Chains A and B, each alone.
Chain A
Amino acid sequence: NAGVMQNPRHLVRRRGQEARLRCSPMKGHSHVYWYRQLPEEGLKFMVYLQKENIIDESGMPKERFSAEFPKEGPSILRIQQVVRGDSAAYFCASSPQGAGPTDEQFFGPGTRLTVL
């Protein structure tokens, strides 16, 4: 039973390029969460998606960042015109239904983005 898959594991981009991060949730999970971990900080919530719907994007920067979770295929976190401050580890998590206050979220190994 495969866990949450993220690819690529490492991504290097130059300033101004686009970064696309992919997340395949666990089988049977239709709820996806993205978190970002800046150096020396904890993971911070970015966005919560269900299939074809954005439920909460309150943690997403207002510009350059977008996320989707199409009916078919993985969830995508897209960062346009990357800047050095976007360098971070991006983690995806999933759950079978909307995670309640006591529910476990299942995390992928993360994508480490480096912006040169």
Chain B
Amino acid sequence: GDSVTQMEGPVTLSEEAFLTINCTYTATGYPSLFWYVQYPGEGLQLLLKATKADDKGSNKGFEATYRKETTSFHLEKGSVQVSDSAVYFCALSDLDSSYKLIFGSGTRLLVRP
């Protein structure tokens, strides 16, 4: 079945460092891809999404590009802030039942001042 694999955390960075969180997926077709973020004590929030190959999703300085060739959707940010400390989840929508989101295991990011 479809699945999502994320790099394990925690990822610890200094403020203003460059961030990459790797995400690869396995799917029989071309699902929509999402990054959700969970700040401490809160629910998951949609950070960005891409719905077809070569689409780039972006929000709050974060970007991710839907790469069909490498089945990847890596999350990047040029300069992280302490406030970016959170858990980041990569997800795809199930092609047969689009309301089902299939999540990776999450990557915890800790940004130090």
A residues near B, CB below 8 A? 3-4, 6, 31, 33, 35, 40-45, 48, 56, 58-59, 91, 93, 95, 98-110
Give complex CA distance A4, B43 in Å.
8
Tell whether, in the assembled complex, residue B99 and residue A108 are in contact, meaning their CB atoms are under 8 Å apart. Answer: no
Check A44 against B51 for contact (C-beta < 8 Å): no
B41 within 8 A of A: yes
Give the residues in chain B near A109, CB-CB below 8 Å. 41-43
Q: Is B98 an interface residue (CB 8 A)?
A: yes
- Using a CB–CB distance below 8 Å, which chain B residues touch chain A? 4, 6, 31-32, 36, 41-46, 49, 51, 89, 91, 93-95, 97-106
Evaluate contact between B101 and A105: CB separation under 8 angstroms: yes
Option from B32, B91, B99, B101 in Cβ contact (under 8 Å) with A98: B99
Task: Identify whether the interface residues of A are mostly helix, strand, loop, or mixed.
Answer: loop
Q: List 16 A-B contacts (CB under 8 A).
A: A42-B89, A42-B102, A42-B106, A43-B44, A43-B101, A43-B103, A44-B103, A45-B101, A48-B99, A48-B100, A91-B43, A101-B31, A101-B32, A101-B98, A102-B93, A109-B43
Which B-chain residue is minimally distant from A33 (CB atoms)? B99
Of A3, A31, A33, A102, which one neighbours B51 at CB under 8 angstroms? A102
Q: Knowing that A44-B103, A101-B93 are A-B contacts, what are 9 other residue pairs whose CB atoms are under 8 Å apart, sorted by A's residue number?
A: A33-B99, A42-B4, A42-B91, A48-B99, A99-B98, A101-B51, A103-B98, A104-B49, A106-B43
Contact between A107 and B43, CB atoms less than 8 A apart: yes
Nearest residue in B to A39 (C-beta to C-beta)?
B105
- CB of A107 within 8 A of CB of B44, answer yes
In the complex the two chains form, is A107's CB within 8 Å of B100's CB? no
Q: Which B residues touch A6, using CB under 8 A?
A: 43
